[in-house]
Structure 1
Amino acid sequence: MRRLLVVAGTLVMAYAVIGAARDPHRLGILVFLAAVLVLHDALFLPLVLAGGALIDRFVPPAGRPGARLTGVVGLAVAVVAVPLAIGPLPGPYLWGTLLILVVTVAGRKGIERLRAGRRGRAHG
């Protein structure tokens, strides 16, 4: 699974680099990418690390993978949605955001059940 994710990530990055190289507004793209890098390292990464520390402190070991998944996806959705939510949020965007959050919570529950089932079979 990890190899598949690495290949998929590499293909997405290659697509982005090729698209950026062909765009006539290269300076604007470079400024945007620099801003994204700074925001990632100055805001998003410290929040993820702090959230991970809180999860390790307060969530029992069995629930940590699901809590981490929900926390990271929820934070990513919030970082994108909060600036847009300041103004009026178009209907499709609002429903898409809610769908992402619902799928994340359902995925978290699925991971917890899957892990609980594996532990039950290993000891049974």
Structure 2
Amino acid sequence: MRRALVVFGALVMAYGLTGAARDPDRLGILVFLAAVLVLHDTVFLPLVLAAGTLIGRVVPAAGQPTARAAAVVGLAVAVVAVPLAIGPLDGPYLWGLLVILAVIAAGRKGIERWRSGRRGRSRG
């Protein structure tokens, strides 16, 4: 499974690079990539590290892997969706963001229950 994800990620990156290479606005692409790099290193990465530390202190050890995964996915969704949701509060983006975050939280609980059920079974 890990190899398939690596291959898929490499194909997506190759697709993005070929699209960027064909775009006539090369300066715009460089500015966009620099902004993404700066935002990743100054906003997203510190938030992920802080969330991981907080989860390590608050969540029991058995639930930490799924809590960390849910936090990273939720943070990624929030980083993309919050700028869209800041508009009018009656817009669909805010409700969509809330629904997606609720699904992530429910999925985390479901995964924890499923994993704890698998640990309780005897191998034989």
Shorter-chain TM-score: what band?
Answer: 0.7 to 0.9
Matching residue of 1:84: 84
TM-score, with length taken from structure 2: 0.86
The residue type paired with residue 76 of structure 1 is A
Residues 73-119 of structure 1, C-alpha deviations (whole Å, 9 max, x = no match): 1111221222222223742x445434432332232123212210221
Structure 2 unaligned regions, length at least 5: none
Instruction: Tell which has more relative contact order, 1 or 2 (C-alpha 8 A, sep 6+).
Output: 1
Matching residue of 2:63: 63
TM-score, with length taken from structure 1: 0.86
Shift of residue 60, structure 1, vs aligned partner: 0.2
RMSD: 2.0
Matching residue of 1:111: 111
Is 1:46 the counterpart of 2:46? The answer is: yes
Matching residue of 2:35: 35
Structure 1 unaligned regions, length at least 5: none
Shift of residue 32, structure 1, vs aligned partner: 0.4
The residue type paired with residue 75 of structure 1 is L
Shift of residue 17, structure 1, vs aligned partner: 0.4
Matching residue of 1:19: 19
Moved over 4 A (4+): none
Distance in 2 of aligned mates of 1:17 and 1:54: 36
Residues 33-68 of structure 1, C-alpha deviations (whole Å, 9 max, x = no match): 110011101110011011101100111011112211
Shift of residue 23, structure 1, vs aligned partner: 1.1
Paired residues in the alignment total 123
The residue type paired with residue 115 of structure 1 is R
Identity of aligned residues (%): 76
